[in-house]
Structure 1
């Protein structure tokens, strides 16, 4: 089960509708319900895989509160000239990339795509992730870092069990 951490105060349906009007789209119901309660939040767990890429990070759901740094319309206007038409960000990763809805193939049932900001071609910058927001949430998992704490020696010659 996914928990949402550090969420903004819940928003009203009208706040979601305002963004829909700006984008000229309708969000899927499953996403809108999550966004009203969890916008601006960090999912836990927050790793997912797609198209041969393992361990992508869903850092945050974009916010519907215009006073927040991850406000969805501010983020969109910042990157819209580099996004393909009919692609709208809804979440971010910690590296400047975005999780987006793509309405390019189906305007009533958008799929989830990953936009890689380092790719210069709109065709190569977009990667398919899954068919719906609910499916994306179901794909989230905890990262296995393979990290094992070790014992390190300190100057006094004693031992200290600490994470390194």
Structure 2
């Protein structure tokens, strides 16, 4: 993995996610989250990465926050479950958010074609159909490796 550093955003200090919290999300969504994601999110949920730039289509956007897994967040709108509830009627089944950009668009795991190793896609909630879903990386590790200044 690349040398990404993380700065707390939701809480003033790092707040670890528990094994049980990941299990709860996996049960609600009916998926197994990638192990590389769980390792990072367990330590850095609710944090912003540096570097945070990533190429999407022909441009660059910034990864604003790694959404929280914990339900005790002081900012519930920054949680994976809140984002999923917000997006689910606008996106196809099989897409699950894990990060937000510096605006209000989301990076999601795409389980539609690869249920054991989901790809990473970028979602424009205002978009229509597949045109609103842009490929970003083959997996979570490659997503982190793609971050740049």
2:69 to 55, 64, 69: 64
Aligned to 1:3: 5
Number of matched pairs: 140
| 1:16-95 to 2 correspondences below 5 Å | 16-52=22-58, 54-68=59-73, 69=75, 70-95=78-103
Deviation at 1:65, TM superposition (A): 2.1
Q: Aligned partners of 2:63, 2:40: CA distance in 1, in Å?
A: 14
Q: CA RMSD in A?
A: 1.2
Q: Aligned partners of 2:57, 2:105: CA distance in 1, in Å?
A: 16
Q: Aligned partners of 1:49, 1:92: CA distance in 2, in Å?
A: 14
TM-score by length of 2: 0.89
Deviation at 1:50, TM superposition (A): 2.9
Aligned to 1:128: 135
Deviation at 1:76, TM superposition (A): 0.9
Q: Is the 8 A contact 2:63 2:100 kept in 1?
A: yes
Q: Aligned partners of 2:99, 2:92: CA distance in 1, in Å?
A: 16
TM-score by length of 1: 0.81
Larger Cα Rg: Structure 1 or Structure 2?
A: 1
Aligned to 1:159: none
